[in-house]
Structure 1
């Protein structure tokens, strides 16, 4: 973290020091809210959850290296007592961001945020020290933690921003105002909460509205709702995509036998072949977004190409490829599931299976789709049929049964998971050596654990 003294933090948060012997002691490590992952020299935020109260772990956190705890009451440890811990975390992030002199980059979108962040972090690191979100720390809790990870020598601070309602992104941008803002796409994730894709677009546009006049908006030129955000900012605009109107574009896109895309990257008079390590042709869009963002940040074209070819998805459960001794390939894409991401993952499954391997899709019910849920599950079922998935195994409730029924009506092979035995065990009994298996569903279903357990098995026949 950009160092702040305990006194400065107390002033920024409206807090009072308790059991502090030296108010000028500096906090040099980031915020943390999990006592199992306390950062040395950092500050432990005592959040009160529904079952666990962080205040009970304050003393242990200090013993483990935290300088002090951020609390709402006295504890048996050095503390800064504040009216509200979560609000105080935001205020600390604001103070850190105000002291930061590097480039703040924000990105959002209905899908692909974390994958793009992982790719972009690799690309930017070719040019200078870069701080970015761990995993998907993109909400009001994780975001201040990410901002607090920036160091005085960090050239770039990459901030993934999520939203579950109007004003959420605007609030995050008040903590750390971006100079570059990237919008990936407007999909159907959380449409049940927002009400419509137009409402989602309006909420995502808050990220470009926060830009200063000297900033840069990086917009998906292939998505009309995103491209229209050019009217939401007075900043410079760079479009990325596959259309000839895009400033940064991909041409000659293809996928190799491992399901990894390659394409020719164009910007101005520069062009180069890019072979991605990541899987799934949908990651071309994410790579283009990263490239355009890096161009705006001043990274030379050749370093961008190198970064794209070296980038991997470090956050886990996103097109993560797990190989078994019996030749079965598990595609662990189970972190979450919007309709668009499920459809993209099915394309990746088909690409990786090719014509010589069986394809198996383990799909969970998609959540937060509101009244459109039946139609979206029908579209996913149609995609299962269109790409020729050999077997669908569905998990969930009525929408899953509807999806299974639609696949069966189209002469596809689809069954509901057997709820009487563990899911991984059930799926494994249906596999053959060298199958390619996609595991994907809403995060609440916990399919990431299923994918990892499945990866440790072997076929029983």
Structure 2
């Protein structure tokens, strides 16, 4: 970002204290990432006050800081009421400036949904990167901090800004799209993620629909034809609508037929579009990625990327973000690491993928390590029990559940398949490492707070006990 401190202070409603410096570097909220002539946003979080690290940011080269109170710090200070809100406004300022820089200005694509956001974002980033300089979120950095920081990584050369946008409550996506209005809005599906926050699937749908309301005039909505709640969002669109369908509905602009899953759990299918039919074999594990691939291709085509080019980029894709359906082998055991997060929809898809992939070798087993699905509210016990029934239906050989929330999962499955319940992650590690044997395929799945991901990290780094 390049801006005079006084101009930025005026835009975010702050007061400049110190020299009117030219900010010409990165914008960060972590002082350890500060760079010369950059801007540091000192946020006050639940457990940490970023103002403690203003001096460290200055020592790393930051030339100015967004602060909520003044001190004798060795850099220019923009005093604001709320540093997080000022960070968002800084992103809004910068995107407006980039969009006004030329006729061939940066185009912004946003994606949301109860699951699949990160994979779809990664696929879109691959497609658009083949067409020109592209910026996208790192991992799932998709909230009121991560999304502005993503936008602030763009520069005058950026042609495409791909933004994954998450929501914990109604109003979140309205806020994010007010900062970065969209040229293309992609909604994947409405599920039960964060049901504890929203209270009902209808409220989830209302929250996700805010992405469509956040389109610029004439913007394009890309909607999942297979989801009634998503399809209904067409009423909110002010421009063109593109539909995609993994169920092969011919009414969609992009739809799949002849879906097959190979021995490695990867789906292939025929893509149908107005430009023709294209065979597409995915490098991602899980049949559910067919829908994500269709969404990414539909978004790209909405911005005049040829379907052929989009298909080529998607076919070459591998997991780009950690702990998301990443498969690897260690000591004769195959792991499916999908442990970054979990909700009923994504866990259902992961168990299906485990069943389809099957054991690695003769005599091997399919083992599901399932941690808690958080933020499900009053429906938590029933939704966790449902996962136990799904594990049985998918003929999983062994179910290892972790944490109090998964007691209903264990209870629903234990009479029909082998199952062990562990009170915490350390017990789970001990049990799992004694249980596994060459030929097994192990799924690792749970919300981030369940710490299932630490098993993947240990196995990847080969720290597990011998």
TM range (shorter): over 0.9
1:56 aligns with 2:52: yes
Q: Against the structure 1 CA distance between its residues 452 and 6, is the aligned structure 2 distance closer, same or farther, given a 3 Å change threshold?
A: same
3-state SS of paired residue (1:227): helix
1:255 to 232, 236, 261: 261
Cα distance change, pair 41–313 in 1 and its aligned pair in 2 (3 A): farther
1:66 maps to: 62
1:144-169 Cα deviation digits (max 9, x unpaired): 11111111111111111111111111
Counterpart residue number, 1:331: 336
CA change 1:420–1:50 in 2 (3 A) is closer
- Could you say which residue in structure 2 is the equivalent of 1:89? 87
Task: Select the residue among 118, 123, 136 that pairs with 1:132.
Answer: 136
Partner in structure 2 of residue 10 of structure 1: 9
Aligned to 2:289: 283
Instruction: State the partner residue of 2:224.
Output: 220
Q: 1:303 aligns with which of 297, 301, 309?
A: 309
Q: Distance in 1 between matches of 2:290 and 2:32?
A: 36
Cα deviations by residue, 1:83-102 (Å, 9 ceiling, x for unpaired): 22111111111101211221
Q: Matched residues in 1 for 2:232 and 2:146: separation? A: 29
CA distance in 2, matches of 1:89, 1:37: 16
Q: For residue 239 of structure 2, what is the aligned residue in structure 1?
A: 235
Match of 2:397 in 1: 390
Q: 1:271 aligns with which of 277, 280, 289?
A: 277
1:156 aligns with: 160
Aligned 8 A contact 1:4 1:28 in 2: no
Q: Which deviates more, 68-77 or 343-352? A: 68-77
Check the 8 A contact 2:32/2:56 in 1, yes or no: no
Q: Secondary structure at the match of 2:272?
A: strand
**Normalising by structure 1, what TM-score?**
0.94
2:378 aligned partner: 371
TM-superposed CA distance for 1:27, in Å, is 2.6
Whether the aligned pair in 2 keeps the contact of 1:339 and 1:380 (CA below 8 Å) is yes
Moved more, 289-298 or 47-56: 47-56
Q: Which residue of 2 aligns with 1:77?
A: 74
More moved, 111-120 vs 65-74: 65-74
Superposed displacement of residue 312, structure 1: 2.4
CA contact (8 A) 1:105 1:156 kept: yes
Taking structure 2 as the reference length, the TM-score comes to: 0.93
CA RMSD in angstroms, aligned pairs only: 1.9
Q: What displacement does 1:456 show?
A: 4.0
Equivalent in the alignment of 1:381: 388
Q: Is the 8 A contact 1:191 1:369 kept in 2?
A: yes
Partner of 2:24: 27
- Following superposition, the deviation at residue 49 of structure 1 comes to 2.4
SS of alignment partner, residue 179 of structure 1: strand
Measure how far apart 1:422 and its partner are. Answer: 4.7
Verify: 1:415 aligned to 2:420, yes or no: yes
Q: Which runs of 5+ in 2 are unaligned?
A: 100-105
State the match for 1:100 in structure 2: 98
| 8 Å CA contact retained: 2:382, 2:408 | no
For the 8 Å contact 2:333–2:441, the answer to whether it is kept is yes
Q: 1:183 to 1:40 in 2, by over 3 A?
A: farther
Quick check: 2:444–2:452 contact (8 Å CA) kept in 1? yes
Deviations 1:372-412 (CA, angstroms, capped at 9, x unpaired): 22322222111111111111001111x42221121123x21
> Kindly tell me: are residues 394 and 25 of structure 1, through their superposed partners in 2, closer, same or farther at Cα, counting changes over 3 Å?
same
- Secondary structure of 1:131's partner? strand
Cα drift, residue 110 of structure 1: 0.7
**Alignment gaps of 5+ in structure 1:** none
Kindly provide the CA deviation profile for residues 240-261 of structure 1, in whole angstroms up to 9, marking residues without a partner as x: 0131111011111111211121
The 3-state SS of whatever aligns with 2:264 is coil
More displaced, 177-186 or 246-255? 246-255
Q: How many residues are aligned here?
A: 454
Aligned-pair distance for 1:457? 4.3
Counterpart of 1:120 in structure 2 is 124
Residue in 2 that maps onto 1:201: 205
CA shift digits 1:283-325 (9 cap, x unpaired): 111111100000001111221011101222222111122321x
Aligned counterparts, 1:178-197, within 5 A: 178-197=182-201
Shift of 1:176: 0.9
- Measured after TM superposition, the shift of residue 425 of structure 1 is 3.0
